[in-house]
Amino acid sequence: MARGARIVGLAAAAGLALSACSVGEGVDLAGAGELDTDDYLRVAIAGEPDQLDPHNTSAYFSFQILENVYDTLVEPDENLEMQPALAESWEVSEDQLSWTFRLREDVVFHDGSPFTAEDVVYSYDRIIDEQLANAYRLSAVEDVVAVDEHTVRIDVSQPTPALLAAIGGYKGMAIVEQQNVESGDVQLDPVGTGPFEVAGNTAGTAVTLRANDDYWGEGPHVPGVVYRFISEGSTALADLTAGEVHWTDSIPPQRVNSLRQNPDVEVAGVPSTDYWYVTMNQARPPFDSPEARLAVARAIDREAIAQVTWYGNATINQTAVPETSVWYHEYAPFEQDPERARQLAESSGLAGETIDLMVTNEYPETVTAAQVIAANLSDIGVSTNIRTLDFATWLDEQAQGNFDMLLLGWLGNVDVNDYYYNQHHSEGSNNAQGYSNPEVDRLLEAGRTETDPDARKELYDRAAEQIVDDASYVYLYNPDVVQAWAPELQGYEARPDRAIRFKDVRLEEDTE
């Protein structure tokens, strides 16, 4: 029991008990203090994970850690193309309704138990049966079957070209161990098959990982990783420059450019798979008129917004998919054109209105961006009432359709379906703006089942153009992945999907 282990841990810390014995092999839940972590890689992330059960958390802070603890059947490489991981190979049946995965045979979990097809069945069944947060990713799955000990078959109801991305694009689809889940330990002391295992968990302070000596792949090359939670970016940078941590992504945007000048710090800058957008409530006038939406699309100054929010560390984009992705489609019909925007605003009845623009202080860039948008709109005769809410309230208001216009980002997609379907299909689960275009619905449905990659891309390119032309979303930019690390950290690469992988990194000795 994790609960029992924790009480033991507390007591040990207080010096009341002599040992925290028999809690999983060598797992120290009393805190990182009893481990010798001097040689460990020390990283600062911007927040504390809510829990470490990969199927139950949706917090990025959890996945920054879990990325190194768990494996999926397949995983995206740096170009976000799917590569073997726990599955060595796979094949799809003639009718496209059956995917068979051949599993690696040399994999063991951190507690020493072997990894088999049953673990895959258990993991996926758990997500589907308990309707966990990721169940939507497996909506096409009819059955998961262990064919033999090292072969697993996934049956789907319709051809599903995005299946690999669905099961591997995200550690929320990790393969978990049944016993670890059923004991409840998974929340704090998860057992995976990844390059590192959880070795200590001090609430509010740090999670410590230790290298998995039995890891099936290359690496790891550091004895462990200590994740500290430092939400204040200035503090995290002070820790980085003081040598207290080797890596951080807790960086205030206004510090990025000066950080690039610092020779003692490496800074990453690749466009991320995140995108930010403005959308308008099509259930309400005047935004039920496409003209009114296009007026906004032509009024806003994307460069200025990128400048105030990310100090230029963002790539302007008028569609969702970033240029680093194979699904990128170059399409940018709008230039800032106040004259044209004013005409559109007048003919659609938008001019002279006061618009409510809903933003959230959970994502401060929405608050700053809103100020630029308000200024842009006032140039075309529209006044804006910026409404800043905390995120919980924001989500409620969005769900109830209580907004004229809102601003938010969508974080981390791999397959192109995830960029468009839920947001712009009339039945999409995230279509809060109420967009409905039968042609787009048809294209998005066809894209879900088209198995020829070129034909599939063609479908999505057409859908994307129509979505942009109708201004269902007015896309702004893909922010850069901004991470900084000390020069002695070698072999680290920032990825567009923000997966933080430490299995290949080394710490060089100080060469004073």
Partner 1 sequence: MTSPLLRFLAKRLLHTAVVLLGVLVVVFALLQLVPGDPVRVALGTRFTQESYDALREASGLDRPLLVQFFAYIGNALTGNLGVSFRSGEPVTLILLDRLPATVSLALAGIAIALLIAFPLGTWAALRRGSAADGGIRAVSQFGVSVPDFWLGLLLIIVFSTMLGLLPPSGYVPFTEDPWGWLQRVILPGLAVGVVSGSIMTRYVRSAVLDVVGSNYVRTARSKGLPRRTVVGRHVLRNALVPILTVAGVQAATMLGGLIVIEVVFAWPGLGRLVFDAVAARDYPVVQGTVLLIALMFLLINLLVDILYAVVDPRIRVS
Binding interface with partner 1 (CB under 8 A): 3, 6-7, 10, 13-15, 31, 33, 44, 47-48, 50-51, 53, 56, 58, 130-133, 135-136, 139, 184, 187-188, 202-205, 228-232, 234-236, 238-239, 241-242, 244, 362, 390-393, 395-396, 399, 410, 422, 429-430
Whichever of 133 and 283 has its CB closer to partner 1, that residue is 133
Whichever of 58 and 490 has its CB closer to partner 1, that residue is 58
Instruction: Find the shortest distance in angstroms from Cβ 334 to partner 1.
Output: 25
Whichever of 13 and 304 has its CB closer to partner 1, that residue is 13
Whichever of 112 and 263 has its CB closer to partner 1, that residue is 263
Instruction: Find the shortest distance in angstroms from Cβ 103 to partner 1.
Output: 28
Instruction: Find the shortest distance in angstroms from Cβ 285 to partner 1.
Output: 26
Instruction: Find the shortest distance in angstroms from Cβ 392 to partner 1.
Output: 3
Whichever of 12 and 222 has its CB closer to partner 1, that residue is 12
Whichever of 99 and 421 has its CB closer to partner 1, that residue is 421
User: What's the rounded Cα separation, in Å, for the pair 349 and 341?
Assistant: 12
Instruction: Find the shortest distance in angstroms from Cβ 128 to partner 1.
Output: 10
Angstrom CA distances, 76 to 83, 495, 501, stand at 6, 10, 12
Task: Give yes or no for a contact between 377 and 383, defined as CB atoms under 8 angstroms apart.
Answer: yes
Whichever of 11 and 374 has its CB closer to partner 1, that residue is 11
Place of tokens 């409530």: 281
Q: What is the largest CA-CA distance in the chain?
A: 79
> 197 in helix, strand or coil?
strand
Task: Give yes or no for a contact between 364 and 328, defined as CB atoms under 8 angstroms apart.
Answer: no
Q: Residue-wise over 410-427: b if at least 16 C-beta within 10 A, else e?
A: bebbbbbbbbbbbbbbee
- Side-chain-side CA neighbours of residue 252 (13 Å): 10
**Strand ranges in 5-135 using DSSP code E only, listed in sequence order:** 41-45, 74-76, 82-84, 87-92, 98-103
- Side-chain-side CA neighbours of residue 351 (13 Å): 16
Instruction: Find the shortest distance in angstroms from Cβ 351 to partner 1.
Output: 32
Instruction: Find the shortest distance in angstroms from Cβ 380 to partner 1.
Output: 30
User: What's the rounded Cα separation, in Å, for the pair 93 and 91?
Assistant: 7
